[in-house]
Structure 1
Amino acid sequence: MDKEGRSEVTAGLLPIVVISVQVLSKVGDSGLLVAECPPGFQVREAIWRSLWPSEELLATFFRGSLETLYHSRFLGRVQLYDNLSLELGPLRTGDSGNFSVLMVDTGGQTWTQTLHLKVYDAVPKPEVQVFTAATEEAQPLNTCQVFLSCWAPNISDITYSWRREGTMDFNGELRSLFSNGQVLSVSLGLGDKDVAFTCIASNPVSWDMTTVTPWESCHHEAASSGKASYKDVLLVVMPITLFLILAGLFGAWHHGLCSAGKRKDACTDRALPETESAVA
């Protein structure tokens, strides 16, 4: 619980107000709203209310009797303790809001405390994508410039941080982009093949992380932009070679067929004049 400010007890029967008390929790957990009163304040009555987004009666304490059966959006999720603190849970999305407790002592003096409950979603495991920069002539050989992008889906109020894992002799440059640290720029060398980077996504009540080894993407890019592998050669060259062989065989067969037809036509042409001479 984070307390930002509190007014002091004043003399007489004037109402005393305590404000700016914040309670943080997450969906699925419980939120404890602690009731505090000045020393010597003997509580006779206490009333817990939800002020925003709607005003509802949540629980009461009257002459030693605790009551939490009031119809409200927290019905069945309210627990009032003997110290007059109120527990809400399990919490749901949209349970954030302002709450107050009004306490009256045996002398008729009042003490009002206002609290703000903020409910966050639990941070899921973030997704990390690795992008490699285009190779430039000015870039040193055997280096790889990568950008690591981290993102936790469907969550607000997220901040990102990065942690380097692996060897201690990391020679690359580490630079975070954007104010929330969502993108990391890294320059890697041959000695950084085993260096991993962890993205930590967090909000005020939860966190999760994902670790990647970016050199694997660099190696993949280098292989795709450099010489083809033996399997790549087979996959490309063999179909072309087979096509050329089949085309050659078809051409030879077609040429032989045409040659045989031409010879047959020539013999026919020579036999025709001899026949005509005999008839004449």
Structure 2
Amino acid sequence: MFWIGVVEGACWPLWRRMATWSLWSLLLWEAFFPAAVHGAQVHGQVGGSVLLAAECPPGFQVREAIWRSLWPSEELVATFFRGAPETLYHSRFLGRAQLHKNLSLALQPLEPGDSGNFSVLLVDTGGRARTQILQLKVHDAVPRPVVQVFIAVSGDAQPPKTCQVLLSCWAPNISDITYSWRREGTTDFGIEPSSLFVDGQVLKVSLGPGDKSVAYSCTVSNPVSRDVATVTPWESCHHEAAPGKTSYKDMVLVVVPVALLLTLAGLLSVWHPCYSGKKQKDICTDRVAPETENPLV
């Protein structure tokens, strides 16, 4: 015999109504007994997947379970009643949630707005309830960092043939990242903490002639990804002109004096038009003649 129940004009199977009542009783149970176990923080990458594990103490035989998203609004994500999992709730995770046999919740593909707290309410066959809260943080993949080299101006007090360098590492449009430096070709990092500034984003190094081939690598990372950029700073310390080519310094030494000479020549042509050509000489002669001739009286 198939029993049905009528609620507000809708015909529901009796087992469906019992499952709904069980769901609401569990939610009321949690409301009156709010004690919860806070689990670890779980990290995921945009576009990837993450597994939210439901932890059960020894001897805890789960009969019913409820997964909920607590932020930005409280939503049912998945439930488990009498051996039947359900993930078709109209939450923002519809089509992206999967409830495993061990009652762990898988989410994929992850979106930036998925970060937040999740709770799972577990009830065993003896009527005991256990609530676990997990925090999900979804991160973007870090991009390739940009390393810039800044050379200090040499002074008399500076040892000869040395180069003081500031290396700046930057990853655009990313938060929650850390910076670290490595001197390549060494067994250890070789970086003194006193040489790091701006939370490790800037590194100060002193280079000598023996460091021409030494490279430094900057690593940017977050809990789900990392990327590296490498630079050889000595190349920025001494720019030598290639054979057959003119260096920037040589160009300045030639162009500046020529420009000054042309400017002076232009000024002389303005103030002394008599020296600017034959035509100007005739004009000058015509202008001077009336001044030197004496009229006859």
TM-score w.r.t. length of structure 1: 0.74
| Counterpart code for 1:80 | L
Residue 54 of structure 2 corresponds to 35
Q: Decide whether the 8 Å contact of 2:274 with 2:281 is kept in 1.
A: no
Tell me the CA shift for residue 94 of structure 1. Answer: 2.7
1:164 to 146, 167, 183: 183
Answering whether residue 152 of structure 2 is matched by residue 133 of structure 1, we say yes
Residue 200 of structure 1 corresponds to 219
Q: For 1:52, what is the secondary structure of its paired residue?
A: coil
Q: Distance in 2 between matches of 1:130 and 1:51?
A: 46
Tell me the CA shift for residue 243 of structure 1. Answer: 7.2
Q: Decide whether the 8 Å contact of 1:172 with 1:192 is kept in 2.
A: no
Q: Decide whether the 8 Å contact of 2:275 with 2:281 is kept in 1.
A: no
1:96 to 115, 118, 125: 115
Answering whether residue 39 of structure 2 is matched by residue 20 of structure 1, we say yes
1:67 to 86, 105, 124: 86
The structure-2 alpha-carbon separation of the partners of 1:17 and 1:244, relative to structure 1 and needing over 3 Å to count, comes to closer
Residue 176 of structure 1 corresponds to 195
Answering whether residue 205 of structure 2 is matched by residue 186 of structure 1, we say yes
| Counterpart code for 1:79 | Q
Q: Distance in 1 between matches of 2:141 and 2:70?
A: 25
Residue 111 of structure 1 corresponds to 130
Answering whether residue 143 of structure 2 is matched by residue 124 of structure 1, we say yes
| Counterpart code for 2:124 | D
Q: Decide whether the 8 Å contact of 2:69 with 2:118 is kept in 1.
A: yes
Q: Distance in 1 between matches of 2:66 and 2:283?
A: 111
1:50 to 61, 64, 69: 69
Q: Decide whether the 8 Å contact of 1:25 with 1:119 is kept in 2.
A: yes
Answering whether residue 126 of structure 2 is matched by residue 85 of structure 1, we say no
| Counterpart code for 1:145 | Q
Residue 10 of structure 1 corresponds to none
Q: Distance in 2 between matches of 1:158 and 1:260?
A: 77
The structure-2 alpha-carbon separation of the partners of 1:41 and 1:234, relative to structure 1 and needing over 3 Å to count, comes to same
The structure-2 alpha-carbon separation of the partners of 1:92 and 1:241, relative to structure 1 and needing over 3 Å to count, comes to same
Q: For 1:191, what is the secondary structure of its paired residue?
A: helix
| Counterpart code for 1:253 | G
Answering whether residue 276 of structure 2 is matched by residue 257 of structure 1, we say no
In the alignment, structure 2 segments of 5+ residues that lack a partner are 1-32, 242-246
| Counterpart code for 2:136 | L
| Counterpart code for 1:251 | Y
Tell me the CA shift for residue 142 of structure 1. Answer: 1.2
Q: Distance in 2 between matches of 1:153 and 1:100?
A: 34
Q: Decide whether the 8 Å contact of 1:99 with 1:117 is kept in 2.
A: yes
The structure-2 alpha-carbon separation of the partners of 1:240 and 1:174, relative to structure 1 and needing over 3 Å to count, comes to farther
Tell me the CA shift for residue 199 of structure 1. Answer: 0.8
Q: 1:181-238: CA deviations, max 9, x gaps?
A: 1110111112212211111111222211211121222224x99xxx964444444455
Q: Distance in 2 between matches of 1:139 and 1:174?
A: 22
Q: For 2:112, what is the secondary structure of its paired residue?
A: coil
TM-score w.r.t. length of structure 2: 0.70
Q: Decide whether the 8 Å contact of 1:175 with 1:184 is kept in 2.
A: no
Q: Distance in 1 between matches of 2:229 and 2:44?
A: 23
Q: Distance in 2 between matches of 1:111 and 1:21?
A: 16
In the alignment, structure 1 segments of 5+ residues that lack a partner are 1-13, 274-280
Q: Decide whether the 8 Å contact of 2:181 with 2:191 is kept in 1.
A: no
Q: Distance in 2 between matches of 1:148 and 1:77?
A: 43
Q: Distance in 1 between matches of 2:198 and 2:168?
A: 13
Tell me the CA shift for residue 172 of structure 1. Answer: 11
Q: Distance in 2 between matches of 1:117 and 1:197?
A: 34
